[in-house]
Structure 1
Amino acid sequence: MKEFFASAKTALKKPSVRFLALVIFFLLIFFVAKKRSPEELEYSSSRVERLDLIQSVEETGSLVSNLELRYGWEISGKVLEVLKKTGDQVKNGEVLARLDSAKQRARLNEGYAALSSAQAKLNLELAGPSAEAAKKSRATVDQAKAALQEVEAELDKVKASGETKISNAEKALETAKNNLSLVEGGEDSRLVKDAYLNLIDALKSSLTVFSDALIETDKILGIDNIQANDDYEDVLELDNTTVLNQTKTLYKSLHGTLRAFEFDILALKEQSTHALVDSWTLEMVLALENTQKLLSRMQLILADAEPGGDLSLSELNTLKTDISSAQASVNSSAKDLSAKKQAISTARTSLSSYRIAYDKATVELANLRKEVEADNNIAHAQALFKAAQLEEAEAGHEDLISDPRDVDLASLKAEVGRQAANVQALKDDLEKTELKALSDGILAGLDIEIGENAQANQSVAHILSSDLNIEVDISESDIVKVLAEDPVLISFDAYGEEVKFKGNVLFVEPAETEISGVIYYKTKIALDKNYPKEYELRSGMTANVRIITEEKQAVLAVSERSIIRREDGSSFVRVLMDAKSGIFEERSVLVGLSGDRGQTEIISGLNEGEEVVSFLKTE
């Protein structure tokens, strides 16, 4: 042991050994301190940036020649124009035929209008209040100050006014309820029954008028009361005997009518059927019309008569007056009958209007009670409450004239983006109404006529071309991203990855192809004709294609690893609030395009430059 310490003492005298010992000592202190300190949160983060995102589908296919295309519209519709015929030389993108696009254009116009509206709302928020709005807001503050001084004087006035309004509304509701109860039950409703009772009363009254008119007439004619006209019978017979005889005949007919239905009409009551009352009403109307004719003839007879014998001028004038009075009574009775009949029609059609009136009165009373309650609450508030109102008005004024917050603008900007995306989708829908040549070549067939209803994905165009194209099989998980005319980047194994060619998607076959139990869809890609001619391309060459299915420029994007999906389909990210301590908050986001490099578009919820957690170590 002594030899060990002696050798150690000798070794420590060497500078290199002393330095190594110090290093070991400090490392021990560091590890002990680290072990005792609380374990720090381990995470990684990335910044929210504006990026150009590209979404693509990569597959391997082969180069084929003698392109033959058979395709149709992606949508169904009525053929409006056929611009080409079989045998025509066509260019890529040239329109062959069009479907009726009125609906698509209308929807696109609506989309433009919605986009303009969303942009206008955003612009309005960005512009801030007008001078007039600021002036009105300032006036509101001044009014709040004045209201603080007037509240006690207004209290009794508001109470009395509210009670009066509610009382009037309750009366209106009660009236509407009573009216509604009268018409419920249709033909058996109280209102219809009362209308028929009024008509029965009018019939009985008309019966009396009818009878009185015949009595007044008989006083002159002396048919039933043969002694009534003894004083002037001879005078009347000296004039127009024909008219007199016709008048007597009409009188006898009406007198018979009276005797025929007077007991039936007098027997009418509330329990009588409405059809019976209607029937006797028609009879009475006809009887009154004939009575008018009878009285008119009596006027003619009296007009031709002259005083003489036992008939004095005074008696003649009295007879004329009595007939005129009878005419007026008959006219009035006829009008009353017509009014009572109209009242029945009105009663039958009153249920709907009374129901609306009752519902309206109910809503108005409920709203009025809320309004009065609110008014009373305001009026009962004392100076402290009004002071609070003043403070609120001042705060509102300050809020009005201050710059809008980002959080207030976020939803408006998101709506503009959503409407812009909708417009683009509607443009795409409109473009689908045009059947275009998907390649240069000869139109070998166009099996469609104007007015015909074309079906979606029905093959109607047949194009032959000597150009080279590429055929690839794309899996069902990727095919939903691929659309006709999507741009394509191509390389051939024969020339390596460095040599790039361009093209575009021509057509996706609707029928599936099963390969080793996996579903694929055969896709044809046209090769750009302007490729360098020094590269000789041959049928059968292996082609590596990258189909650009969608791309967006300068959009907010984060790493896909930063986005967490909820079960309801929504998404959120963890926004880093304090990098040193690792504090973050969860924030909901609206995601858009997912790019090839693991970056995903953020439509709303984040701002450029914010840090989001992309990895968080958990126990």
Structure 2
Amino acid sequence: MKEFIKRRKYWIIGGVILLALIIWRANSGNGPKYTVAYTVAKQDVKQTVLATGTITSQSNLNLSFKNGGILSKINVKVGDKVRKGQVLAMLDQRDASASLNQANAAVLSAQANYQKVKSGASQPEIAVAQASVDAAEVTYKNAQNTYTATQSQQKSLVASAQGAILNAGLQAVVESGSTTVSATVTGTYTGTEQGRYRVVLGTSGSGLRYNLSGIEGYYSEFQRGVPAKIGNKGLYITIGTTGTLNAGDSWIIDVPNTQSSTYITASNSYQSALQTQNQALVTAQNAVDSARVALTQAQANLNLKQSLARPEDLAAADAQVKTAQAQLQAAQNQYSNNIITSPIDGTVTSVDLKLGENVAPQKAVIVVLDQSSLHVESNISESSIALLQSGQKIDMTMDAFGPDRHFTGEVLSIDPASTVLSGVINYRVISSIPQDVDIKPGMTVNLVILVNEKTQVLAVPNRLVKSNSHRYVTVLENGNIKETEVTIGLSGDAYTEIISGLSGGEEIVTSIEPKK
């Protein structure tokens, strides 16, 4: 009985196991199918930018003559090593040499003049200046004397002409209705005042008298037929002896007598005399002024030679020296513009010259390359340029050496301005390249630029990170498949950093097929 119970127990246990196997088999045949793709672990996450560039020399120089002319000398050929400052080629220098010599002479002349000004005048020069002053003084005094004589002479001539006009045809004219007795005027009028004399007769106890008014006031007794003085200016009046005189009879004498037949001639002579006087005095005064200026200049020149050099004179002489030196520098530049010298240590890679040919200015005729300053130039699209910055490391391979030979460089600079190539906006990036005798300008370079990196962080392959409203991965846990939300960090070229949601060791599945 006990053995039967024992066997029954075994049968029950076996049945349970068999039933579990059947159920498992049924589930495994009809459940979803999946593939375990990755077990979560720590990885190095790297983000890179790929580019292609070209080896270029920082100093690949096209050299030319600044002037044009006939080539007279060429000192290099292709492949020659040259040093900085070495003369490579030269144009005909005859005209430039002449100009340079002339400019040198001008500098020496200006420097000698500066020393002369600084030292002052010699005794012979001072003696000559003193003689000039003495001569100028004599000339000035003579001009003054001439002016005084001219002034006196012309004054006399004008006075004479003025007297002639005032004395032209003087006559005593009877006032209307007063008397029929005539009177004559004699003598010479010595005054300068123009106007009218009025002679009026009167009586006195002993005989006749007259009263004078107008230009002068005067009275005097007179006898008919005898000249009587009219005032004090040289004129006399003679009352005729024919006719009856009565008190109150009067005569008028106009000075000048504009009705006289000689008045116009005398007036013209007077105006001519005034004009002549003015011209003569102006000429004499100009001679005085010129002599005074000449004397002042001679005295100033003497003072200058007797004095020490003034600061302004030294400054002017120094300015002449500097001007001559500047002209010398210009001549030296013209001379140098006919020469090509190497601005760097390098190698001649091109020579486009023949002796005796006429070379055009600014035409590139020699190329010098500095192989010690090679770098890589590449164009990076605008979609990637924001990831780049100076100092980032670069892994390089070159088509000339195959994919197995690697070189290391770094980003040196990024152009701020863009260029458009085939409709795509790019930015030029300059990168360093190791110095290697095998590397030559023009070679093609393949660049892998490391823009970001995190080492040994939880990460999963990029293809296993999915998203809808959030980021998630598909995890196999205890035989069940579930979507696990994750927070990601750096997305690299192959892996994505997982910041939260996974802890490591989880199995990520893919290729899930639903139940049939």
Fold in common (TM above 0.5): no
Shorter-chain TM-score bucket reads: 0.3 to 0.5
Report which of the two has the higher share of helix: 1
Question: Taking structure 1 as the reference length, what is the TM-score of the superposition?
Answer: 0.28
Question: Taking structure 2 as the reference length, what is the TM-score of the superposition?
Answer: 0.33
Report which of the two has the higher share of strand: 2
Larger radius of gyration: 2
